[in-house]
Amino acid sequence: MAVAVEQRREQEARPAARRRVAAKGNFAVAMAVRDVDIDVAAIYPITPQVQIAEKITEYVANEELDAEVIHVESEHSAMSAVVAAAATGARVFTATASQGLEFMHEMLYIASGLRQPVVMALTTRALSAPINIWNDYSDAFGMRDTGWIMIFSENVQEAYDNVVQAYRIAEHPDVLLPVVVTLDGYILSHTVEPLEPLGREEALRFAPKRRYGYRPTLNPDMPMSFGVVGVPAWYHEIKYQQVRAMRESRRVIEETGREFGRRYGRSYGFIEEYMMDDAEVALVSLGATASLVKAAVNRLRKEGVKAGMVKIRVYRPFPAEELVKALENVEAVGTLNRAISYGGVVEDPLFMEVATALALRGIVKPMASFIHGMGGRDIFVRDIVAMYKKLMEHAKAGTSAKRTYFYGVKGHNPDDDQKM
């Protein structure tokens, strides 16, 4: 162990630009958490996030990280503990997935309602029943209205970079909102990819800890009550403050992503456009699924099809302006998601946002929503190519799909979705 620590320290002493390690997503997140020097972590282990908790406790045991790790008995307690710790002024972290996120659901509103800059990693995973430990975005989309800033990662490097940026965003004096950074369960959490970590010095330079007491804190010298009753006379106003903070966060998220690029060469925006300059049909997707869509775009481009992709990186606050700007010139727009909103106008919650953003700006064009890959079902590039072809049919006919197309369902023809 000691030798490994020595080697790692030696490796990380090298200049930032030259340092490159192999890391799975979970370890990348743990490294980011170590590099921003958190004060308190409270994590209840749940697949596929467990390794984040393991690695953080290892860092603390090896004295690579001076933090308090609270061993809690549930996710509900994990979120409660980090909210309270954040209220004392500490820099905090937790991580969860799937049922764990559901179990802490009521506390998610407490974190945002109390305006605590909690940062959480979510290794996205399907929800029970039936029990399933593999990747989809059901858990993430279930927390979309909890008042958290939500950032999706496409690869291991992004997971690391997003966690570092999350602290700078959450703790910004104009924001003070919790931030969740997602990484696809197994697809990113357990996949080893090249990673260029910033290292502690650089990470702390980018996301420095702020002076104690710059925001309201539980402080014996300046007593305050947190979490008191919000009576009908003032609850409405307090919620509106939250709305304004979320709107205000757009500027901070944008600045943070741009500054990150200026310093380290990897810029981040609300969305990422791929082959959109001359695209005629575009799919909107997020998370690691976006990588598959890029592969499909490459294949289609070889066939001469002008396909493009838009990846949503920041889902909350939703980047309506940026998205519309990217999509206004294409002939047809589709969305690909791994989450279901049962009984919705369409069953894809992402589509509803995209369609609303376009419609409110007077843009009407053929649209279609696609769902595939629930509960860790592999999505093949050929499946996405088929979606693009379906989208091109809609572009040609000038009609939208009234219902979500479910691809990859055994014994089901997606066209039948339009008949029911």
Partner 1 sequence: MTENQDVTRYLGKKYPTKWDEVPIAGIVPWPGNTEELKTHAWRTIKPVIDQEKCIRCRLCWVYCPDSAILEVDEEYVTSKGRRYKVSYKVDYDHCKGCGICAFECPVNAIQMVPEER
Question: Which residues of the shown chain bind partner 1 in the complex (CB under 8 A)?
Answer: 113-115, 172-174, 176, 210-211, 213-216, 222-226, 228, 230, 234-235, 237-238, 240-241
In the complex, least distance from residue 100 CB atom to partner 1, rounded to whole angstroms: 25
Q: Which is nearer to partner 1, 17 or 228 (CB)?
A: 228
> Smallest gap, in angstroms, from Cβ of residue 248 to partner 1?
12
CB 314 within 8 A of CB 114: no
Considering the complex, state which of residue 113 and residue 317 has its C-beta at the smaller distance from partner 1: 113
Torsion of CA 96, 100, 103, 109, to 10 degrees: 20
Residue from 399, 357, 317, 328 nearest 144 by CA: 317
Q: How far is the CB of 164 from partner 1 (least distance, A)?
A: 17
Beta carbon of residue 140, minimum distance to partner 1 (angstroms, whole number): 24
> What is the spatial distance between Cα 97 and Cα 115, in angstroms, rounded to a whole number?
22
Residues 6+ apart with CB under 8 A from 189: 24, 25, 26, 48, 49, 51, 123, 183
Q: How far apart are CA 277 and CA 308, in angstroms?
A: 8
Comparing CA positions, the residue from 56, 11, 1 lying closest to residue 195 is 11
Measured from the CB atom, the residue of 230 and 398 that comes closer to partner 1 is 230
Q: Which of 55, 73, 60 is nearest to 121 (CA)?
A: 55
CB closer to partner 1 out of 8 and 209: 209
Residue closer to partner 1 (CB basis): 235 or 413: 235
- We find the least distance from the C-beta atom of residue 227 to partner 1, in angstroms, to be 8
| Residue given tokens 């045991």 in the structure block | 61
Q: Which is nearer to partner 1, 244 or 412 (CB)?
A: 244
Q: β-pairing, 149-152 with 179-184?
A: parallel
Task: Output phi, psi for 27, to 5 deg.
Answer: -70, -35
Give dist(CA 285, CA 350) in Å, integer: 8
> What minimum distance in Å lies between the beta carbon of 264 and partner 1?
18
State the nearest-atom distance from the C-beta of 376 to partner 1, in Å.
Answer: 38
Residue 145 to residue 274: CA distance in whole angstroms: 28
Pick 20 or 205: Cβ nearer partner 1: 205
